[in-house]
Amino acid sequence: RCAEPSSWESGITYANGHHPEQIKHPLRRHAPLTCSCEAIALLLLLYNLSSLDEAMSSMQLGEPKQDQQHDSGRTKESRRRINIILPPPQHNAQMYGYYISEEWLYQTALSFLAKVHPDFSESKARSNARVNPTYSFRKTFHIRSLSTTYAIPPPGQIIPAECMYDNTVCVLYIFNDQPESYNYRPIQKQVDELTRFMGREPQWWVGVMSVKFYRSMYR
């Protein structure tokens, strides 16, 4: 498991003076693009692969809207959600969570699936842990807004090498600063339980994708 992080100012904008869109994404290992068609193709690849887990998480958030209208307990629950102030808005979306390694995420998802879905075959469990790793985390900790993304490393903070991918950090986040995620943030007790499991406090991260990307994903 990754080591304890150092604290940092949530208002930091960009790492090393680079604009988020200039930082290499883990999937951007291609030659420089020479036409808009190639750029569009790469953006689609980024969306389909690196953000598949986030997309599936956003679908989970949208599912129970009808049930909420008939659940009187929802109003009381919303008043008990974690009390946290959002950082100042930035060009890119911001997430509240923990740095992780992809291998740790995969192995932990497998161990959770064995408990929440003992009926899964080995191949089905491995596929789920790869494609939608936070599914088992959401089932285990009952936090519907949990998801993963890549973020910009804060200047001066030491991130374990296994959690870094081409100058970005793999992050398991509890919620992000967009209303569709923030409004579903969990209660403090759930965050405390997840934090005890992770062994370190969550922090704010600046993601590599713009706010517009997340707004389009939640539509």
Q: pLDDT by residue (tens digit) across 192-210?
A: 999 999 999 999 999 999 9
Q: pLDDT by residue (tens digit) across 162-181?
A: 999 999 999 999 999 999 89
In the chain, domain spans: 15-218
Give the predicted TM-score (pTM) of the model: 0.68
For 159-193, letters b (16+ CB in 10 Å) and e give beeebbbebbbbbbbbbbbbebbeebbbbeebbeb
**Per-chain mean pLDDT for the chain:** 76
Q: pLDDT by residue (tens digit) across 65-97?
A: 433 443 444 555 556 899 999 999 999 999 999
